[in-house]
């Protein structure tokens, strides 16, 4: 399994991916799931992939040469696309090409065609954009209302993203939020694992040197891991325990409710049960 998150903010983009893959309890390996495509000063694009590793690796390679018919004009590739929308169309075409090549044989072997990608970046002359691409090659775009995408084992890391992120969130805060999201996932699911790849892209830069590989010796992520767990326990312990005895409290548990009580069957002494 895997976990990847992409965040689109006013200030830029944040991408984070783990690197664990597994085909069984005794077949655990490390493969990078982040790929950067760039022409500094002209375009900068990042792809995060989840799902079947052979599919995502094939898509990654084909994407570099895939072409979309453009009538009488030059075919569209990720290297000459005028917009991130068109570049994402090329990615969708690459996914469908891999499906045409490998889908039937995978199905015959009882393997689902399972792959999803987060693809985002910026092309000169256009605003930053980020897309979530599905196994069928179709896709949706991040909006101000939904400013992040997750692929892979997403449920454990989603609550912190929902509570913290909004378009105006600073990039460094978003990076911290993404790492906390990843730490929560690492804690709850062994199929997600270090090392991590973290990249920050600043709006309008059309390049990025803010990329780091995080392993178990990384001091900042080590601090995140220990501090987040400790602070969660402190907050939990600071919440009042429920009171069942009806004692005076500002937050009574046994409050009146218009809802019905659970159905109960109470037997009395001497009552015959049939």
pLDDT tens-place string over residues 19-33: 988 755 566 788 999
Domain for residue 259, yes or no?
no
Domain for residue 266, yes or no?
no
Residue 273 has what pLDDT?
Answer: 67
Domain count, the chain: 1
pLDDT over 60 at 35, yes or no:
yes
pLDDT over 70 at 97, yes or no:
yes
Cα–Cα distance list, 194 to 97, 204, 215, 224, 272 (Å): 31, 30, 6, 14, 62
Can you give the residue range of the structural domain that contains 203?
A: 3-233
Longest pairwise C-alpha distance within the chain: 92
Highest mean pLDDT (candidates 169-178, 248-257, 262-271): 169-178
pLDDT tens-place string over residues 140-152: 999 999 999 999 9
Taking only Cα atoms into account, the Rg of the chain, rounded to an integer number of angstroms, comes to 24
DSSP letter for each residue of 18-41: --EEESSTT-EEE---EEEEEETT
pLDDT tens-place string over residues 200-254: 999 999 999 999 999 999 999 999 999 999 999 999 999 999 888 767 788 888 7
Average pLDDT of the segment spanning 259-273: 76
Domain for residue 274, yes or no?
no
Between 229 and 255, residue with greater pLDDT? 229
Domain for residue 250, yes or no?
no
Residue 28 has what pLDDT?
Answer: 72
Nearest alpha-carbon partner for 97 in 125, 133, 136, 155: 136
Domain for residue 248, yes or no?
no
Indicate which CATH number applies to the domain containing 23.
Answer: 3.60.20.10
Residue 23 has what pLDDT?
Answer: 53
Residue 26 has what pLDDT?
Answer: 63
Residues whose CB is less than 8 angstroms from the CB of residue 66 and which lie 6 or more positions away in sequence, other chains included: 77, 78, 90, 91, 93, 94, 97
Q: Which residue has the tokens 């390049």?
A: 207
* CA–CA dist 56, 48 (Å, integer): 9
Domain for residue 258, yes or no?
no
Q: What is the pTM of this model?
A: 0.92
Residues 221, 196 contacting (CB under 8 angstroms): yes
pLDDT tens-place string over residues 193-202: 999 999 999 9
Domain for residue 92, yes or no?
yes
Domain for residue 263, yes or no?
no
Question: Strand order in 12-17's β-sheet?
Answer: 148-152, 3-8, 12-17, 196-202, 210-214
Residue 264 has what pLDDT?
Answer: 79
């Amino acid at each position: 399994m895997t976990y990847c998150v992409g965040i689109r903010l006013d200030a830029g983009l944040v991408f984070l991916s783990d690197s664990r893959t597994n085909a069984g309890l005794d077949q655990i390996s490390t493969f990078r799931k982040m790929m950067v495509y760039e022409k500094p000063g002209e375009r900068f694009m990042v792809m995060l992939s989840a799902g079947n590793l052979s599919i995502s690796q094939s898509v990654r390679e084909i994407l570099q040469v895939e072409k979309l018919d453009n009538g009488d004009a030059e075919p569209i590739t990720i290297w000459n696309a005028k917009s991130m929308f068109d570049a994402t169309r090329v990615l969708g075409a690459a996914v469908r090409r891999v499906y045409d090549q490998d889908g039937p044989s995978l199905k015959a072997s009882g393997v689902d065609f399972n792959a999803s990608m987060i693809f985002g970046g910026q092309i000169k002359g256009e605003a930053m954009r980020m897309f979530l691409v599905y196994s069928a090659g179709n896709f949706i775009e991040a909006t101000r209302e939904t400013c992040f995408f997750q692929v892979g084992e997403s449920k454990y890391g989603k609550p912190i993203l929902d509570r913290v992120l909004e378009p105006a969130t600073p990039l460094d805060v978003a990076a911290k939020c993404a790492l906390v999201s990843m730490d929560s996932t690492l804690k709850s699911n062994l199929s997600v694992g270090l090392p991590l790849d973290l990249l920050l892209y600043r709006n309008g830069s059309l390049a990025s040197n803010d990329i780091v590989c995080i392993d178990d010796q990384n001091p900042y992520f080590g601090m995140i891991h220990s501090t987040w767990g400790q602070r969660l326990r402190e907050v939990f312990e600071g919440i009042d325990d429920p009171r069942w005895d009806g004692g005076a409290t500002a937050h009574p548990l046994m409050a009146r409710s218009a809802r019905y009580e659970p159905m109960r069957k109470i037997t009395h002494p001497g009552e015959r049960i049939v």
